Amino acid sequence: MSTFLDSLGGWLLVVLVGAPLLAAAVLLAVGDRVRDRAAAETGTAVAAGTLLVAALAAVGAAPYDRPGTGLSVDVAWIPALGVRFHLGLDGLGAPLVLLTALLTLLVCWHLVRVRPVAGRVRGLVACILTVESGALATFTAQDLLLFFVAFEVVLVPMWFVVALWGDDTQAPRVGEPSTPLPGGENARRDAANRFVLYTALGSAVMLLGLVLVALRTGTTDLAALAYAGGAGMSTTTQTIAATLIVLGLAVKAPMFPLHTWLPPAHTIAPTAGSELLAGVLLTMGTYGLVRVAVPVVPDGVRAIAPFLGALGVAGILWGGLACLVERDLKRLVAFSSVAHMGFVLLGVASMTPQGLQGALFANVAHGLITGLLFLVVGGLKDRRHTADLEGLGSGLRDRLPRLGWLLAFGAVAGLGLPGLAGFWGELLAIVGAWNGEGALGPLARPLAVLAAFGTALAAAYLLRVLFLVWHGPNGRSAAPAGPAALFAPVTVGDATTHEVAVAAPLVVATVVLGLLPWLLLDVTAPIVRVLLAGVGS
Amino acid sequence: MSAQTPLHAGITGVQAVDPLALAPAIATLVTIVVLVLVDAVAPAAARLRRVHDVVALTGLGVAGVFVAVLGVTASGRDLGPFAGAAVRSTVCVPGGGFVLPSCSFVVSPLTLTLQAVVVVGAIVCLLLALDGPGARDRSVHHLLLLATVTGALVLAGSRDLAILVVAFETASLPVIGLVALRRDAQGAQGAVTLLLTAVASLGLLLVGVAMLLLATGSLHLDRIAAAVGDPTLPDSVRVVAVAGTLLAVAGIAFKLSVVPFHLWTPDTYAGAPLPVAAFLSVVSKAAGLAAVVVLLGVGLPALGDAWSPAVAVLAALTLTVGNLVALRQTVAVRLLAWSTVAQAGWVVLPLGAVASGTPGDARQAVAASVGYLVAYGVASLLAFSVVVLLARHHPAGEDHTLEAYRGLARREPVAAGALGFALLCLAGLPPGLVGLVAKVVAVRPLVDAGVWWLAVVAAANVALGVAYYLRWTALLVVRPTATPPTWRVRPAEGIALGMSLALCVAFSVLPQVVAGLVPTALR
């Protein structure tokens, strides 16, 4: 098996990145003759194949306890800029490659039975597959500028997903039927534009930092840059580069206070879009921090680490407080994403092995748990055209037990209950921050304490949701009246077997990673040691 | 080297003319003569309309072949086709003693690249114009277009101030006639606006050139470079040289639509026939950049500390004003006009990073500027190709708004795909990789020289540009409100669209073409 994979070598990675892109191009080219169901099934088949290739590549790249990438392909691309088409898979990228491939498969499979509120499925599947290709390229790119190009690939298709397939129908909230919420094409366009403008600006700023690194070191090879550990750049240069790169990535991560694009985009996006945003795009931002910021300009990152850590903790607290009062369930999950990413940022800022490990773990856990939550909440919103917490969640376990249980599971996992995946990342990030005096200075312990308080906030807001789901009045007696009746539920039934089957892999993965965290920690530990070697703490 | 080279040397010296060096320009000149002859033989024969087209296209094609041949002969020693040193020089005056001969026309990689942009742009614009309202009078249209191209081709190789000014005017004045060919009130207004700007700019350019001559005593750019690079140059003379440089740049800037010399752009683009607007945005802009880089990069790198900050301010203004106004446009051609203003900012952006005045910096900046021009040129040609097609099939004609593109992807998937690709190239987002790499190339010199304020302005403008290019792209795929008739694409338009699409795709797959335009020395 291993020799077979070795003979395939890096071309497996080219297939991994190229296959979804090619399938997307074909889907776009065939025109509207393809029916929705067939398009979704094609997407599912391609995504399943990609997941298989990803699994093969992950096996082929093993073992992960040696430096360098197990699989790689390396071709000259733009010699004038020193850019190579260099893809490689190592312990840092492998978990995220698998997560991306899995989420894409689930999203496509979900579309086989559940149609989006607006638009044709063919284009949506093409966009999803393009996003997958860009994300996989980002997680395997071993060249600074190739990483940037791959990072940018997801922008336009994701913009289309929000702007064209967004769910803009907004029923009035329970209790205030007279005030219609902003909706319609403008709401979609607004959310999509905000997403793309924030991210494009962030990317442009990041590009300046990447170009500075490439000019001063004379190479764009990520392995060489990590090996040099910032050698050849003065501390000032490193600080400028780190500020630019981190600012750019922080928009996508997102870091407080640059997160304001995220709630509208998550809320408007169709279920598939929210899942990809949460599980793939956000992880790209934090992955970038670990891949192109910490090892490449370690002194620079150390210089700005206190700010990064403080803003991460601010995100944890802000997200938690917002969730305490948020009435829209989708926005609530979006704000909890901001809080989750705060832990990741804190872990990165600590620049300790535990912190970085925690950040990577929390990244994957976030993808699984928030992916599940958006699946459930999206399913609820599709049924009622509203995501109002009290209208939807109240007494959910009574009315729709399957969705109720799934939502409860997602909420419990999201608050970081020990035994589930969300726990380990947050724990390690807090431990890393506690030990992170090297980078965080005197702020290390206060930040760790505040972050721990953030977990209590998470418990509070998610228990609020759970309470409503479990004990709230089930609202059977109160039929919707007034404008709400316009949005009479399309399907009021409980989750179908199909929907449960789509959610099941996420639930299983959350439990498995919660009980057997070393499955992931053992993969990331060696690469984290390599990345932090240049830090010399 | 003495700054006091006698003026008459250029007149009395032995002048060796190398016809091959001038071959591309000679080809277009001969074509003009043939066109005049054809017109004289049969002035009004409808049968001969196609003869005019064939003659003009053949002339441009032959010019393109000569550019390619010169490029291939240049590639003998070096890596890329345009990576070699100077190939040929002609119209030289002998030096004396240790003074090298100075040539008025040099075929260098820089020359060839600019000439390639001009020829390709002219061919595509001519193909687009053949059936349009601007080319009803074939002979006049083709003559004016070829005259402009001749001027631009000579301009790219000119290395003395006199030829530079003459070639610049040859590349500017016929365009005014082209704009007026629409023959309606709007066209006349556009032509008059352009005429007034061109004449005022000519004055500035002449005064600037005269002051440079006064300060350095030479018309040849290599001798001027040596004179202003001389550390013993008195400050009083230097002031005159700097003033002359800035005035000359101001005189050239209108051609690039650099703010605040851009005011003619929207009216003229809207008034001109669309293919002429495309011609203005690619060929005319290439000629303007040729004049700027030849004058500043070849002749005056030593004064970089004076002109580079000025260019930096102009670039920042151009980017910001162009993009902000473009955000509010609804008429397609006006949006394109303002977007070309913003793109002009990107084109001159790298020249804002030569403050150190070393030849290496100037070379890097010029390479980046020309590289951006190549990327912008192909993307702009592609966008205009689709806009011309739509204008022919839309009741509002050339004044159609962006709403005309609603749902285009459902009726004309190929054209919509091409336009979307072109817009993403201009915005610099994947899949438009050529635009993305061009932006990397353009900001590199700024980051290298540490001109951070300008780099940040450029980064902010990326986001501004994305806003309106994506707004347009989105309209292509939304549900259409009405179903207009399907298009009947004529062969010439199909070839133009195919050519520019092929170039855009090829450069996106191999961005080395845009990034690798680094000549070994600026000549």
Mean pLDDT, chain A, rounded, equals 83
- The interface residues of chain A toward chain B in range 111-150, judged by CB-CB distance below 8 A, are 123, 134, 145, 149
Give the pLDDT confidence score for residue B344 in this predicted structure: 94
The 3-class secondary structure across B144-197, one letter per residue, is HHHHHHHHHHHHHHECEHHHHHHHHHHHHHHHHHHHHCCCCHHHHHHHHHHHHH
Range of the domain at A439: 2-168+182-476+491-533
Q: What is the pLDDT of residues B156-186, one digit of tens each?
A: 999 999 999 999 999 999 999 999 887 788 8
Dump the DSSP string for A393-411: HTTHHHH-HHHHHHHHHHH
Question: Shortest Cα distance from A257 to chain B (angstroms)?
Answer: 18
Q: What is the pLDDT of residues A223-248, one digit of tens each?
A: 888 888 888 888 899 999 999 999 99
Asked if B115 contacts B24 with a C-beta cutoff of 8 angstroms, the reply is yes
Yes or no, beta carbons of B441 and A81 under 8 Å apart? yes
A144 phi and psi angles, rounded to 5 deg: -55, -50
Yes or no, beta carbons of B511 and A78 under 8 Å apart? yes
Sort out which chain A residues have CB atoms less than 8 A from B431's CB and list them: 153, 156
Sort out which chain A residues have CB atoms less than 8 A from B478's CB and list them: 164
| Angstrom distances, CA of residue A389 to CA of A176, A179, A196, A395, A467 | 14, 17, 28, 11, 11
Sort out which chain B residues have CB atoms less than 8 A from A207's CB and list them: 439-440, 443, 459
Q: Per the structure, how many domains does chain B have?
A: 1
Sort out which chain A residues have CB atoms less than 8 A from B519's CB and list them: none
Nearest to B462 among A160, A163, A200 (CB): A200
When pLDDT is cut at 50, 70 and 90, the band that residue A180 belongs to is very low
* pLDDT score of A522 more than 90: no
How many Å apart are CA A246 and CA A348, to the nearest integer?
A: 11
Question: Shortest Cα distance from B477 to chain A (angstroms)?
Answer: 9
DSSP B106: E
Give the pLDDT confidence score for residue A312 in this predicted structure: 92
Q: What is the pLDDT of residues A445-481, one digit of tens each?
A: 888 889 888 888 888 888 888 887 777 665 544 444 4
* pLDDT score of A172 more than 60: no
B255 contact A CB<8A: no
Nearest to B447 among A77, A201, A211 (CB): A211
* Minimum Cα–Cα distance from B479: chain A residue: A119
Give the helix ranges, DSSP H, for A62-183: 94-113, 121-140, 144-153, 155-165
Q: Per the structure, how many domains does chain A have?
A: 1
Yes or no, beta carbons of A211 and B460 under 8 Å apart? no
Dump the DSSP string for A168-218: ---PPPTT-TTSPPP-HHHHHHHHHHHHHHHHHHHHHHHHHHHHHHHHHHS
Dihedral (Cα; B293, B299, B302, B307), 10-degree rounding: -50
Question: Shortest Cα distance from A48 to chain B (angstroms)?
Answer: 25
B470 contact A CB<8A: yes
How many Å apart are CA B372 and CA B513, to the nearest integer?
A: 11
Return the structure tokens found at B278.
């495309």
- ∠ Cα B403 B408 B409 (to 5°): 140
Q: Hey, what amino acid is at B25?
A: A
Yes or no, beta carbons of A152 and B511 under 8 Å apart? no
A163 contact B CB<8A: yes
Q: What is the pLDDT of residues B40-52, one digit of tens each?
A: 887 666 667 788 8
Yes or no, beta carbons of B467 and A197 under 8 Å apart? yes
Give the pLDDT confidence score for residue B128 in this predicted structure: 92
B1 contact A CB<8A: no
Give the pLDDT confidence score for residue A324 in this predicted structure: 85
Is residue A417 one of the residues assigned to a domain?
yes
* Minimum Cα–Cα distance from B511: chain A residue: A78
Give the pLDDT confidence score for residue B97 in this predicted structure: 63
B509 contact A CB<8A: no
Is residue A105 one of the residues assigned to a domain?
yes
Chain A with chain B: Cβ pairs closer than 8 A: 90
Sort out which chain A residues have CB atoms less than 8 A from B466's CB and list them: 196-197, 200
| Angstrom distances, CA of residue A344 to CA of A81, A337, A380, A394, A422 | 33, 11, 29, 32, 12
B410 contact A CB<8A: yes
DSSP bridge pairs for A221: A143
Give the pLDDT confidence score for residue B15 in this predicted structure: 59
Q: What is the pLDDT of residues A330-380, one digit of tens each?
A: 888 888 889 989 999 999 999 888 899 999 999 999 999 999 999 888 888
Sort out which chain A residues have CB atoms less than 8 A from B455's CB and list them: 208
A114 phi and psi angles, rounded to 5 deg: -110, 115
* Minimum Cα–Cα distance from B455: chain A residue: A208
* pLDDT score of A136 more than 90: yes
Give the pLDDT confidence score for residue A179 in this predicted structure: 42
What totals of helices (H) and strands (E) does chain B contain, helices first? Answer: 21, 2
Nearest to B429 among A152, A163, A240 (CB): A152
Q: What is the pLDDT of residues B451-492, one digit of tens each?
A: 899 999 999 999 999 989 998 998 888 877 776 667 888 888
Sort out which chain A residues have CB atoms less than 8 A from B512's CB and list them: 77-80
Is residue B522 one of the residues assigned to a domain?
no
Q: What is the pLDDT of residues A16-73, one digit of tens each?
A: 899 999 999 888 888 777 788 888 888 899 999 999 999 888 888 877 776 666 778 8
* Minimum Cα–Cα distance from B447: chain A residue: A212
Is residue A484 one of the residues assigned to a domain?
no
Nearest to B430 among A156, A189, A215 (CB): A156
Give the pLDDT confidence score for residue A474 in this predicted structure: 55
Is residue B467 one of the residues assigned to a domain?
yes
A33 contact B CB<8A: no
A496 phi and psi angles, rounded to 5 deg: -75, 170
How many Å apart are CA B460 and CA B320, to the nearest integer?
A: 9
Sort out which chain B residues have CB atoms less than 8 A from A211's CB and list them: 440, 443-444, 447
* pLDDT score of A191 more than 80: yes
B444 contact A CB<8A: yes
The ipTM estimated for the assembled molecules is: 0.89
Is residue A177 one of the residues assigned to a domain?
no
DSSP bridge pairs for A75: A85
Give the pLDDT confidence score for residue B522 in this predicted structure: 66
Q: Tell me which of A77, A207, A216, A217 to substitute to probe the interface with B (most B C-beta atoms closer than 10 Å).
A: A207
H-helix or E-strand containing A360? Answer: helix A353-384
B263 phi and psi angles, rounded to 5 deg: -60, -25
Yes or no, beta carbons of A159 and B424 under 8 Å apart? no
Yes or no, beta carbons of A200 and B478 under 8 Å apart? no
* Minimum Cα–Cα distance from A30: chain B residue: B413
Give the pLDDT confidence score for residue A535 in this predicted structure: 56
B365 contact A CB<8A: no
B448 contact A CB<8A: yes
Give the pLDDT confidence score for residue B46 in this predicted structure: 64
B324 contact A CB<8A: no
Yes or no, beta carbons of A81 and B515 under 8 Å apart? yes
- What percentage of chain B reaches a pLDDT higher than 90? 51
Yes or no, beta carbons of B516 and A80 under 8 Å apart? yes
Yes or no, beta carbons of B447 and A79 under 8 Å apart? no
When pLDDT is cut at 50, 70 and 90, the band that residue A184 belongs to is low
Q: What is the pLDDT of residues A368-424, one digit of tens each?
A: 999 999 988 888 877 766 667 666 666 677 777 788 888 888 888 888 888 888 888
Nearest to A31 among B413, B429, B448 (CB): B413
Sort out which chain B residues have CB atoms less than 8 A from A164's CB and list them: 474, 477-478
* pLDDT score of B292 more than 80: yes
Asked if B481 contacts B334 with a C-beta cutoff of 8 angstroms, the reply is no
Is residue A481 one of the residues assigned to a domain?
no
Is residue A67 one of the residues assigned to a domain?
yes
Is residue B410 one of the residues assigned to a domain?
yes
- What percentage of chain B reaches a pLDDT higher than 70? 90
Give the pLDDT confidence score for residue A436 in this predicted structure: 83
Range of the domain at B199: 9-515
Q: What is the pLDDT of residues B311-329, one digit of tens each?
A: 999 999 999 999 999 999 9
Question: Shortest Cα distance from A199 to chain B (angstroms)?
Answer: 8
Q: Tell me which of A190, A203, A237 to substitute to probe the interface with B (most B C-beta atoms closer than 10 Å).
A: A203
Yes or no, beta carbons of B462 and A204 under 8 Å apart? yes
Q: What is the pLDDT of residues B183-237, one digit of tens each?
A: 788 888 889 999 999 999 999 999 999 999 999 988 999 889 888 888 888 889 9
Give the pLDDT confidence score for residue B7 in this predicted structure: 45
Sort out which chain A residues have CB atoms less than 8 A from B445's CB and list them: none
Nearest to residue A372, comparing CAs of A499, A512, A517? A499
How many Å apart are CA A443 and CA A440, to the nearest integer?
A: 6
Nearest to A215 among B437, B447, B462 (CB): B447
Is residue B348 one of the residues assigned to a domain?
yes
Is residue B288 one of the residues assigned to a domain?
yes
How many Å apart are CA A185 and CA A206, to the nearest integer?
A: 31
* Minimum Cα–Cα distance from A189: chain B residue: B471
